[in-house]
């Protein structure tokens, strides 16, 4: 995925736009509970300790901090209890954009919408002091930026996006296996892709079921995906493998194609419904933020 810079890479100034980023400031990821081992932020941790918001009591045990004892209960009941408070930590967001060869082929390339959506999701998390990592995929997945937060992270993240180049064929199944092997701290994984994979939608959804993080699926679509503007005798070439096929485009062929596409589309939607994943279909030729907002009920996405 690296090397001499490709003319098809998305320029930095096409991604990093102040007005675009300002438009996502009202959107928020909210975790039911975040995994421990994070840093102080705005999400509620699974741990109870010496945070700010009171949650519960529990009986004192040898070795506990005397400072947490509730002496009012001791005076009333003669029993020693500790006051427990919620810890506030960060919610890691792992952004997984599709940088396969096919994502850069169209005009404008589908990758432009995908990387802008990736930047918008990063901005939402960083605005609430969460951490964001970048793991692009094509034939394989790699860690380009480990989860980080703080001032200056967003411009750095935008530069990383602008440096991404076409990475060969698509293998989402292998990429998700690689993601699982990284054993990342539990958080949200946002996959930004058209989800077209030679292995088929059943293999893709099976691989998605193995991801232990909360999933957000940003499906990059165009009207021509379901209704291609093709007639007559044509030679179709796979833009990633280079293989070709001569096809006579008839009404019957188009009908069978639309049925196959609908099965693919419904397969992804059914996975989202049954797994609790967030799913938004992002029209690559329309404004990004109003479409992403569909993920956030009343301004928040509950992870």
**Domain ranges within the chain, ordered by starting residue:** 12-35+91-302, 40-89
Ranges of H-type helices in 96-222: 110-127, 153-163, 172-181, 201-209
Report DSSP state, residue 240: T
Per CATH, domain 12-35+91-302 is 3.40.50.410: yes
Average pLDDT over residues 256-282: 95
Residue 87: what are its φ and ψ, rounded to 5°?
-85, 140
Winning range, highest mean pLDDT, from 44-48, 126-130, 143-147: 143-147
More confident residue, 229 or 2: 229
Q: From its phi and psi, is residue 115 left (phi > 0), alpha (psi between -120 and 50) or beta? A: alpha
DSSP state of 11: P
If DSSP codes are grouped into helix, strand and coil, which group holds residue 290?
A: helix
Q: Quote the pLDDT of residue 71.
A: 84
Which range among 85-89, 115-119, 252-256 shows the weakest confidence by mean pLDDT?
A: 85-89
| Model confidence at 188: pLDDT above 50 | yes
User: What pLDDT is stored for residue 38 in this prediction?
Assistant: 38
Beta strand extents in 158-292 (DSSP E only): 188-193, 214-221, 232-237, 244-249, 278-283
C-alpha span between 191 and 152 (Å, rounded): 24
**Mean pLDDT, residues 49-78 taken together:** 71
Confidence of residue 10 (pLDDT cuts 50, 70, 90): confident
Select the more confidently predicted residue: 9 or 208.
208
pLDDT at 297: 56
Q: How many angstroms separate the CA atoms of 148 and 244, rounded?
A: 43
pLDDT band for 239, please (50, 70, 90 cuts).
Answer: confident
CA angle 59, 77, 47 (to 5 degrees): 25
Three-class DSSP category at 301: strand
Q: Which residue has the tokens 């529990």?
A: 58
What pLDDT sits at residue 34? Answer: 32
Q: What is the pTM of this model?
A: 0.77
Whole-number pLDDT of residue 46: 39
The per-residue pLDDT for range 108-127, each reduced to its tens digit, is: 899 999 999 999 999 888 88
89 pLDDT higher than 70: no
């Amino acid at each position: 995925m690296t090397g001499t810079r490709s003319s098809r890479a998305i320029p930095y100034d096409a991604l990093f736009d102040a007005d675009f980023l300002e438009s996502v400031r009202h959107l928020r990821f909210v975790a039911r509970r975040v995994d421990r081992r994070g840093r102080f932020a705005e999400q509620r941790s699974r741990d109870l300790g010496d945070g700010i918001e009171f949650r519960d009591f529990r009986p004192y045990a040898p070795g506990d901090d005397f400072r947490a004892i509730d002496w009012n209960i001791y005076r009333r009941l003669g029993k020693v209890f500790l006051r427990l408070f919620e810890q506030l930590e960060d919610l890691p967001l792992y952004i997984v954009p599709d940088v396969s060869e096919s994502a850069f082929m169209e005009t404008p390339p589908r990758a432009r919408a995908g990387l802008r959506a990736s930047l918008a999701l990063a901005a939402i998390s960083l605005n609430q002091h969460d951490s964001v990592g970048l793991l692009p995929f094509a034939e394989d997945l790699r860690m380009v930026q480990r989860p980080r937060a703080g001032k200056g992270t967003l411009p750095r993240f935008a530069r990383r996006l602008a440096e991404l180049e076409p990475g060969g064929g698509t293998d989402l199944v292998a990429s998700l296996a690689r993601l699982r092997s990284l054993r990342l701290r539990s958080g949200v994984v946002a996959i930004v892709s058209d989800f077209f994979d030679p292995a088929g939608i059943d293999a893709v959804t099976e691989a998605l079921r193995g991801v232990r993080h909360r999933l957000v699926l940003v499906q990059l679509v165009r009207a021509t995906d379901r209704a291609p503007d093709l007639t007559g005798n044509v030679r179709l070439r796979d833009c990633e493998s280079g293989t070709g096929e001569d096809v006579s485009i008839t009404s019957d062929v188009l009908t069978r194609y639309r049925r196959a596409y609908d099965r693919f589309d419904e397969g992804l939607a059914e996975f989202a419904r049954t797994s609790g994943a967030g799913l938004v279909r992002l029209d690559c030729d329309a404004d990004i933020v109003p479409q992403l907002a569909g993920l956030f009920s009343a301004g928040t996405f509950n992870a």
